[in-house]
Structure 1
Amino acid sequence: MVNVLAAPYFQGRHKDSDAQFAGLVVLAAVLLLPALFPGKIGWLSSLVPLPVFYCLVNLGIQRGSIPVRNGIFIAAGAAVIFGSLPMLIFSLTLVPVGIAFSTCVFNKRSPVATGFIAFLVLAVSWLLYWSGLALLLQTNLYSTLLTEIDMGLHSGLMLYEDSAELAPETLEGVRVAVDLLRVYIPKILPAILISGLLITVWLNLVLGNLLLKKKDSKLTPWPEYQEWKLPDPFVWLVVLSGVMFLLLPAPLSTLGLNGLIVCSTVYFFQGLAIAASLLNRWSVPGLIRVPIYALIFIQTYGIIVLSFLGMIDVWADFRKLNQAGDKHNNSI
């Protein structure tokens, strides 16, 4: 009789242990592998917040912190053995983002508020990391980055000029393009870096919500990604940036250009949500959605169109989120 009554308890503990072990393995792998092979899979470090977020929400703060802590210790020990600790330290700067996600979930904040808070957390974390590294190396890393980019563009142009296969007209077009890049990249590099932070936060937030809802729809208070919507007043930031870029002299016009790039990135996220909603409404099969999304990300025009679509959704309300409607079984 006692064994029968105790069975559900031990089954629950067994499942909990399995979840903790899986979280530990995934987090340790995501932390360690980019540190060991930075040239091949260094991009994997951008997904560090995902297992942290999933463990803390799925298991709760108290139990979820156990695999997070142990995964960090295991990855750190292995990195010390293999001499990859510097790269691991960079990966660890993304752990606070996963913690910020889970805290916002427990406080029932909206996806937009959560993304903004996580963006600030990541910005501060990376600012501290790169500032500390700059002090350690006694160099200005931002200036070094600009110099490396300029040298890379110059070297690329030299390769094209040495190529005998290019027609003179094509080569002249390449020269003009490279000259424009060398002029504008120093001006828009802040927006590029900020957009990189936003994309990192957005990717982990969307994937985390998707995985948690597949586990249990009640784990997050958020709707499906295709129902996420920016606050309507955000569009005034686009208007202000456009006015600054078009009407004001430098450096205010440069600030406006950077603002437009950052706003375009944010509205691309909303445009992608609209695209997901429309594909779901039209019942497009999953196998067809994959190449559609691939084309959107590969083609520059697709990104621009979705950014514009996300912005005019303020007035068009493509998804009818402000109206009562049927709920569909949504997937990205």
Structure 2
Amino acid sequence: MKSPRAQRTRALTEGALLAALTIVLYVADIYTKLLLYVIPVPVAILVIRNGARTGAIATAVSALGVSLILGPIDGLIVLVRVGFIGIVLGALLARKRPWLITLAGTSAASLAAFVSDFLLVSWSTGLSPGAMVAKVQETFVEAGQRTMELYQKMGVPQESLGLVKQMTEAMPVWFKTFLPAVLAIGAVFSAAIAYAAARWILIRMKRDVEPIPAFADWRIDWRWAWGLIGALLLAYAIPSVDLGFARTLATNVIAVYVMIYAVQGIAVLWSVLGSMGVPKGLRAVIAVFLYLTPTLNWLLPMTGLLDGWLDFRKLMSRA
């Protein structure tokens, strides 16, 4: 067993190295736009090996370093986003929490970081949150106009142009309506990448990690459907009553449920195709095709929803 002095020396050394790595990753992401989701991982690894205190100190050092290179706003982003997500992820992994709890906790931290980033940008630009949302909506409108002009030059038929016009006009409204759902889904996506990267590193460091069930065996209990039923009732059952924000919130809950059940549906599809001997690459192509085809993509969330009751893969009988 190492002496306390040796442990402190190791923590100091690793903290300095991983703080430097965090700075490099953040600065590199400015130019590559590929590293955003893995930047918290060094802090998470540091927390696992040396505790939250060392992780917090390394985060502060990283934020200071980024501030000196890119400015105080980026330093604050590192302090809030990278540090918060990394420390939460590292603490949950260090305590060997179940993978779903770790992912949920990291997703919550990621969502909080998204909101903090949004408010920070709002403060730094002098725009209110509402004005920032309006600015993004204007960007959607401009992008839609450019798309229409491009399609017209390409000679796209008028019927198709009309459909594209309807979609581009609806995009700003959809964005404002479904912004909470977009943030929530984005937070889960961000957390999943950070968790997967940290888990991959820990496995190669010969550390014990919580096993994750095979994707083909993922299953959502049927009781989760009550939340969807409640949201549907709140959003659509009483259209004549103005429920304001509650209805908007219910609509976003429905959107999140659709995504969850779509993933569940893909898991069912993955299992069925696997039992038929279909290669993984072809399974992925089929899943993407179904998800991106408007006339077919409803099959995935519907399959995921029904699987809670019908147990298509007979997982409950195997449990």
The alignment's TM-score, normalised by the length of structure 1, stands at 0.71
1:86 corresponds to: 73
Shift in alpha-carbon separation, 1:183–1:55, aligned structure 2, 3 A: same
Q: Deviation digits for residues 246-293 of structure 1, max 9, x if unmatched? A: 212343443322111111223344444445545555554455456456
Give 5+ residue unaligned stretches, structure 1. 1-15, 326-332
2:310 counterpart (308, 311, 316): 316
TM superposition shift of 1:84: 5.0
The alignment partner of 1:221 has SS state of coil
2:4 corresponds to: none
The percent of aligned pairs where both chains have the same amino acid is: 17
**CA contact under 8 A between 2:234 and 2:247: conserved in structure 1?**
yes
2:97 counterpart (90, 102, 109): 109
Question: Which amino acid is the alignment partner of residue 255 of structure 1?
Answer: L
Give 5+ residue unaligned stretches, structure 2. 1-10
Number of residue-to-residue matches in the alignment: 302
1:258 counterpart (252, 255, 278): 252
Question: Which amino acid is the alignment partner of residue 212 of structure 2?
Answer: P
TM superposition shift of 1:129: 3.9
Question: Which amino acid is the alignment partner of residue 248 of structure 2?
Answer: T
Shift in alpha-carbon separation, 1:279–1:212, aligned structure 2, 3 A: farther
Question: Which amino acid is the alignment partner of residue 87 of structure 1?
Answer: D
**CA contact under 8 A between 2:56 and 2:87: conserved in structure 1?**
no
Alpha-carbon distance in structure 2 between the residues aligned to 1:241 and 1:116: 21
Question: Which amino acid is the alignment partner of residue 318 of structure 2?
Answer: A
1:184 counterpart (174, 177, 187): 174
Alpha-carbon distance in structure 1 between the residues aligned to 2:232 and 2:73: 41
**CA contact under 8 A between 1:30 and 1:44: conserved in structure 2?**
yes
Shift in alpha-carbon separation, 1:18–1:81, aligned structure 2, 3 A: closer
2:26 counterpart (17, 22, 31): 31
**CA contact under 8 A between 2:219 and 2:308: conserved in structure 1?**
no
Shift in alpha-carbon separation, 1:183–1:108, aligned structure 2, 3 A: same
Q: Deviation digits for residues 72-98 of structure 1, max 9, x if unmatched? A: 735742x34543553353244133223
TM superposition shift of 1:210: 4.8
Question: Which amino acid is the alignment partner of residue 258 of structure 1?
Answer: N
Alpha-carbon distance in structure 2 between the residues aligned to 1:232 and 1:33: 44
1:130 counterpart (111, 118, 131): 118
Greater shift, 114-123 or 258-267, is seen at: 114-123
2:261 corresponds to: 267
Describe how 1:279-290 pairs up with structure 2 within 5 A.
Answer: 281-282=275-276, 284-285=278-279, 288=282
Is 1:222 aligned to 2:216, yes or no? no
Greater shift, 196-205 or 106-115, is seen at: 106-115
Question: Which amino acid is the alignment partner of residue 221 of structure 1?
Answer: E
Alpha-carbon distance in structure 1 between the residues aligned to 2:135 and 2:294: 26
The alignment's TM-score, normalised by the length of structure 2, stands at 0.73
Alpha-carbon distance in structure 2 between the residues aligned to 1:302 and 1:84: 48
Question: Which amino acid is the alignment partner of residue 312 of structure 1?
Answer: L
Greater shift, 167-176 or 152-161, is seen at: 152-161
Shift in alpha-carbon separation, 1:122–1:199, aligned structure 2, 3 A: same
Question: Which amino acid is the alignment partner of residue 183 of structure 1?
Answer: V
Shift in alpha-carbon separation, 1:142–1:119, aligned structure 2, 3 A: farther
Alpha-carbon distance in structure 2 between the residues aligned to 1:223 and 1:134: 39
**CA contact under 8 A between 2:46 and 2:55: conserved in structure 1?**
yes
2:192 corresponds to: 202
Alpha-carbon distance in structure 2 between the residues aligned to 1:275 and 1:310: 9
2:43 corresponds to: 52
Shift in alpha-carbon separation, 1:118–1:285, aligned structure 2, 3 A: same
TM superposition shift of 1:71: 7.7
Greater shift, 223-232 or 254-263, is seen at: 223-232
